[in-house]
Amino acid sequence: MFGRKKIKVRLAPSPTGYMHVGTAQSALYNWLFAKKNGGEFLFRIEDTDIERSTKEYEQSILEALEWLELKWDGEVVHQSKRRIHYRRALEKLITNKKAFWCNHTKEELEAERKEEEENKQPPRHICSCKSSSAFGRHYPASNPGQNFILRLAVNEQKITFNDVIRGPIEFEASLLGDFSIAKSLDEPLYNFAVVVDDAEMGITHAIRGEDHISNTPKQILIYEALGLPLPIFAHLPLILAPDRSKLSKRHGGMAVADYKKDYLPEALINFLGGLSYTFSKEIISREEMVKEFDLTKVHKSGAVFDVKKLNWLNSQYIKKLPPKEFKNLTNLNISDAAAALITERLERLMDAQEFSYLWSEPQYGKELLKWKNSGFEQVKASLSRSLEVLKAAEMSREAILAGLEKLSVELGNKGLVFWPLRVALSGKEKSPDPIDIALALGKQETIKRIEKAISLL
Ligand SMILES: [Zn+2]
């Protein structure tokens, strides 16, 4: 148990791009943790960066979460509507002398940074404004001058926290210097806004990507300065590209929206769930994941995004799709038998186009009808006999197979029967068994296609 407080977690993306698969995984693990513990999964849009945030990106993030059916609790919180809260918190820190206005110029800070670099010191600014006798005397109440920036007064101390996934982590506060927390009372910087929001939203567990670890010591110092209780931190491992570098835009296929056309949401959820966690089985529903999920058991090391695994999982979920649902998803107007023939063999939804011969007459050159070194006359004879079989047989696998096998024995060559028939029906070098295709096409269309093939010879 984590005390008497109700568990609250959150997903807090910035709408400065489409939703990344890593964010989707964070959303899933937060959601699983909330469901497992009877808690709440909250959703906050970090849209304080006015220049880079757009409504379009925000909409795409909402749509991605809805598509994945990761439903959040309550209203969507927008940082852009919460400025008064940040302002109050900043004023409180100034009053308590925990934050101060620094008026060092860009040039001064740049020169300091250079010197630190030469002396192999960490880049930081230990500000002389902090130690001036009139603490905060540069408070630009009436004139918010351009040089002023609000910094947290940081004392030398060790910052430690116990990461649920990674164990104890320690930082030296002095390495951070008096870091900036706001450009003005109305322009809080990232870490400050996050702390104020998480505290006011009652977030008990900050579960997020490993790339946030470096933000955590700063956030802890801000919590302490504001006199707020700390949440529990858990940093999820990164998702890696096959070459084990951080998955980034150059690897392509990072936006959740890109997966919509090819993948079923349940397959992607299953894949992302198993990427950094070992569940008891490979194919697992989200309900089963909730039952098994234990935050302390999330892997520490990065997980490689293996698209082959994703495709395999997707094929397993596609197989289970009822024909009607498959036809809805792909907008294909085909028979149930044709839908079943496709779903049995499909890894990605868009690849259904490879089965276009099931709904439109295939085009192919007559050369393709030839089986090995047989001549056109032999192929024509074989197809004519197959046509008789198909005309006479009832449309069942057993009946057609019996007829074609009998014919194979007569001609002394199975390939000579099955190959041209398959090409006549699909127009492809590779396709399912001709009997399956015939059953999907129906008797009339099957006969029509064989007759057409014969006419080519
Ligand atoms: Zn300064």
Does an H or E element contain 218, and which?
helix 216-226
Domains, the chain, in order of start with CATH, read 1-77+237-320 (3.40.50.620), 323-358 (no CATH), 366-456 (1.10.10.350)
What's the 106 CA to ligand 1 centre distance in angstroms?
10
What's the 147 CA to ligand 1 centre distance in angstroms?
10
Rounded CA-CA distance 206/236 in Å is 10
Query: Tokens representing 345?
Result: 């063999």
Rounded CA-CA distance 29/277 in Å is 10
| Residue closest to 191 by CA, chosen among 169, 202, 176 | 176
Does an H or E element contain 425, and which?
helix 414-426
**3 state DSSP class of 124:** coil
Q: For residue 122, what is the DSSP state?
A: P
| Residue closest to 417 by CA, chosen among 431, 405, 400 | 405
Assess contact for 232 and 258: CB atoms under 8 A. no
Binding-site residues for ATP sit at: 249
What angle (nearest 5°) sits at the alpha carbon of residue 132, between those of residues 130 and 135? 65
What's the 85 CA to ligand 1 centre distance in angstroms?
25
What's the 144 CA to ligand 1 centre distance in angstroms?
16
Binding-site residues sit at: 249
Q: What is the per-residue pLDDT for 137?
A: 44
What's the 184 CA to ligand 1 centre distance in angstroms?
14
What's the 127 CA to ligand 1 centre distance in angstroms?
4
pLDDT in tens, the chain (457 residues): 445 689 999 999 999 989 999 999 999 999 999 999 999 999 999 998 888 999 999 999 999 999 999 999 999 999 999 999 999 999 999 989 899 988 888 889 999 999 999 999 889 999 888 776 444 444 555 455 556 889 999 999 999 999 999 999 999 999 999 999 999 899 999 999 999 999 999 999 999 999 999 999 999 999 999 999 999 999 999 999 888 888 776 676 688 988 999 999 999 999 999 999 999 999 999 999 999 999 999 999 999 999 999 999 999 999 999 999 999 999 999 999 999 999 999 999 999 999 999 999 999 999 999 999 999 999 999 999 999 999 999 999 999 999 999 999 999 999 999 999 999 999 999 999 999 999 999 999 999 999 999 999 9
What's the 175 CA to ligand 1 centre distance in angstroms?
15
What's the 134 CA to ligand 1 centre distance in angstroms?
14
Q: What is the per-residue pLDDT for 151?
A: 94
What's the 274 CA to ligand 1 centre distance in angstroms?
47
What's the 128 CA to ligand 1 centre distance in angstroms?
6
What's the 214 CA to ligand 1 centre distance in angstroms?
22
What's the 126 CA to ligand 1 centre distance in angstroms?
7
Strands (E), 300-363: 303-304
What's the 150 CA to ligand 1 centre distance in angstroms?
9
Q: What is the per-residue pLDDT for 104?
A: 86
Q: What is the DSSP string of 229-243?
A: ---EEEEEPPEE-TT
Rg of the chain (C-alpha set): 32
Assess contact for 129 and 138: CB atoms under 8 A. yes
What's the 424 CA to ligand 1 centre distance in angstroms?
80
Q: What is the per-residue pLDDT for 264?
A: 98
What's the 198 CA to ligand 1 centre distance in angstroms?
28
149-152/99-102 β-pairing: antiparallel
What's the 159 CA to ligand 1 centre distance in angstroms?
23
Assess contact for 250 and 203: CB atoms under 8 A. no
**3 state DSSP class of 215:** helix
Half-sphere CA count of 406, side-chain side, radius 13 A: 12
Half-sphere CA count of 26, side-chain side, radius 13 A: 26
